[in-house]
Structure 1
Amino acid sequence: MEKSTIWKFFDEDLDEYTLLVPSVAVGNVSQLACDLLISSLNMVKTGSVYTTAQIPVIGYDPYNLKSESLSTSCEIYKSDSKKICILQIRSPLIFKYAKQFLEEVIETFKEKKIKDVIILTSSFAHEKKHILSSSFRYIVSEGNPYAEKIKNGDMEKHENNGGDLKILGGGFASLLYKICLEKSLPCLILFKYSSEGDNIPDAYDMVNKLTLVCSLFSEDKDVFSQLLQPVSWTLLFGRPPPQDIY
């Protein structure tokens, strides 16, 4: 398979790391959660990705106002102390190229010897069938190291009534999960039923749920007190209207 993606790693060491991948989905909950993790854990940018499968985006560093570096639509961040890396995706994938790109993602990180993949995503709130149940659902592959932990996290296993895995509004999460299974790489999907709007609370909730399977923050303190919002969130909804119009 001819590769359509250019990978530039600044640090090659990802041996035994967990890879987090946000799927572009309802409310961008997963990208916001990854932003929150990158900022709170002071993660370091360790690579950048250019692919024809993605709509190009470029802008200022979303985590440091004093930085002179630019950010693009797909970048890799890592935390050595927590042994996790994040493939932060900031723009949608182009459907006809998505499968090949996601296959290259798994092949590339398998070469780096990551140990497993966690996919974060969201689904349409109106698809939640049981009103009093948790807003979170999970799908876990057989033999996954998080299989027992995830059962104790006030979350329910996603009910998939046969056939291919479907998460309505969940973007490419189902496809990436299938690729992980084909490549024999342990995979977990964590998603929340959400609506479009102010999804910052959803991001906080997702990070909190993620800590049930990954040891990311001090257990001596409340998780929420250890989270640091990225500076880019101050412009999440754009600038206020100019006073001249009133």
Structure 2
Amino acid sequence: MGHDIWNFIDNSDLNEYTLIVPSVAVGNVGQLSCDLLISSLQMKKIASVYSPALIPVLGYDPYNLQSNSLSSSCEIYKSDRKNIVVLQLRAPLICKSARIFLEEIIKRFKEKNIKDIIILTSSFAHENKHISTSPFRFVASESSLYKKKILDLHWIEHKCVDSPLKIYGGGFSSLLYEICQENSMPCLILYKYCSEGDNIPDAYDMISHLSSVVPLFSDKFDLLSQMIQPVSWKLLFGRPPPRDIY
């Protein structure tokens, strides 16, 4: 895709780093989870990405009200302490260009020697046929680095009745997983069954669940106390109604 622009502020190698990508899906749980992670770990922005596959979005810095920098549809954040990179998306992908853009993501990060990829997403609550079990499911490639931990924790695997993989309501997660497989990139999908609405609690649940296999936070302190809610969430549902109408 000749029109893609990857503007890296920090060009360092990402060997031993894990890339986390949210799929734009039901309730935007993946994106909210990445917001919570970026804010809590005080990750620094290392790149902005422009692509015809992305619906243009421009706004204030969602993590710092004092910042003069703008945020766009796709930005990349890094935590050197935790060896984590997050590719945050703030808009859906345009369907006809999605595959080319996702292939470009894998190509770029393979060049930077990324270790593995985790996709965070969600699925329609009515797809959960066993409501008494955990609302989380996973899909892990054969080369996934978290297989042993996941087995020890008895996570429930996504039942793949269709081929290729389908996660209903899960956005591009299945397609990105397929591209990872084609490129021999270790990949884990973690998703939660949910409904549209206030999905902030789902994001907290997602990061807590992910933390049990990926060391994101300190064991010395309570997990919830280490999570910092992004300032942008104060206006997640718009401004309150004007008082004049009452």
TM-score by length of 1: 0.98
The residue aligned with 2:108 is 108
The residue aligned with 2:91 is 91
The residue aligned with 1:156 is 156
The residue aligned with 1:52 is 52
- Opposite residue 8 of structure 2, the aligned amino acid is F
Q: 1:3: Cα distance to partner?
A: 3.4
**Counterpart Cα distance in 1 of 2:154 and 2:194:** 17
The residue aligned with 1:20 is 20
The residue aligned with 2:233 is 233
The residue aligned with 1:38 is 38
Deviations 1:55-76 (A, max 9, x none): 0000000000000000000000
The residue aligned with 1:210 is 210
Q: 1:154: Cα distance to partner?
A: 5.0
Q: Does 1:124 align with 2:124?
A: yes
SS at match of 1:234: helix
**Counterpart Cα distance in 2 of 1:153 and 1:195:** 25
Deviations 1:2-24 (A, max 9, x none): 43411011112222210000000
SS at match of 1:228: coil
**Counterpart Cα distance in 2 of 1:150 and 1:47:** 31
- Opposite residue 235 of structure 1, the aligned amino acid is L
The residue aligned with 1:10 is 9
Q: Does 1:61 align with 2:61?
A: yes
SS at match of 1:36: helix
**Counterpart Cα distance in 2 of 1:55 and 1:162:** 30
The residue aligned with 1:187 is 187
SS at match of 1:152: helix
Q: What are the ranges of 5 or more consecutive residues in structure 2 without an aligned counterpart?
A: none
Q: CA RMSD in A?
A: 0.9
**Counterpart Cα distance in 2 of 1:98 and 1:206:** 25
The residue aligned with 1:146 is 146
Q: Does 1:196 align with 2:196?
A: yes
Aligned length: 245
Q: 1:225: Cα distance to partner?
A: 1.3
The residue aligned with 1:135 is 135
Q: 1:131: Cα distance to partner?
A: 1.4
**Counterpart Cα distance in 1 of 2:152 and 2:199:** 25
- Opposite residue 188 of structure 1, the aligned amino acid is L
| Contact map agreement 2:143 2:187 (CA 8 A) in 1 | no
**Counterpart Cα distance in 1 of 2:61 and 2:134:** 35
Q: 1:109: Cα distance to partner?
A: 0.4
| Contact map agreement 1:134 1:154 (CA 8 A) in 2 | no
- Opposite residue 201 of structure 1, the aligned amino acid is P
TM-score by length of 2: 0.98
Q: 1:162: Cα distance to partner?
A: 4.0
- Opposite residue 176 of structure 1, the aligned amino acid is L
**Counterpart Cα distance in 1 of 2:67 and 2:89:** 20
**Counterpart Cα distance in 2 of 1:15 and 1:143:** 17
Deviations 1:76-114 (A, max 9, x none): 000001001000000000000000000000000000000
SS at match of 1:103: helix
- Opposite residue 178 of structure 2, the aligned amino acid is K
Deviations 1:182-222 (A, max 9, x none): 00000000000010000000000000011111111011222
**Counterpart Cα distance in 1 of 2:57 and 2:154:** 37
- Opposite residue 15 of structure 2, the aligned amino acid is D
**Counterpart Cα distance in 2 of 1:56 and 1:185:** 29
**Counterpart Cα distance in 2 of 1:38 and 1:154:** 28
Q: 1:223: Cα distance to partner?
A: 1.0
Report which stretch shifted further, 194-203 or 140-149: 140-149
